[in-house]
Amino acid sequence: MIPFHTLSQRHTVYAFCAVWILQFGYGIWLARQWKKTKQ
């Protein structure tokens, strides 16, 4: 488990969260586009 006390620990958590937000945010947007472009 990563603790959240020091700046480096916090920034490790921020970095991982940034990746998930960007990647899965784009994935969700694509899933919505897939439904939207249904013919």
Partner 1 sequence: MTTLRKSNGPLPAWARAYFVLCFAMLAIAFYKAMTAPTEATMGNLYRVFFYHFPHAIESYIFPYLNCGASLLFLYWRKNSPEKAAKADAFAVASAELTVLYVSVGLATGTIWGRAAWGIWWAWDARMTTYLLLWLLYVSYILLRGVSASGQTSVISAVLAIFAAIDIPICFMSIRWWRTQHPAPVFGGDPDAGIDHSMLPAVFWNLAAWALWGAGILALRYAIERRRQRAYAAEALAYTEVQA
Where do contacts with partner 1 occur on this chain (CB under 8 A)? 2, 7-12, 14-16, 18-19, 22-23, 26-27, 30, 33-34, 37-39
The minimum distance between CB 32 and partner 1, in angstroms, equals 10
Rounded Cα distance between 1 and 10, Å, is: 12
What count of other Cβ atoms lies within 10 Å of the Cβ of residue 25? 10
The minimum distance between CB 28 and partner 1, in angstroms, equals 11
- CA 14: distance to chain centroid? 10
Which pair of tokens denotes residue 25? 């945010």
The minimum distance between CB 29 and partner 1, in angstroms, equals 10
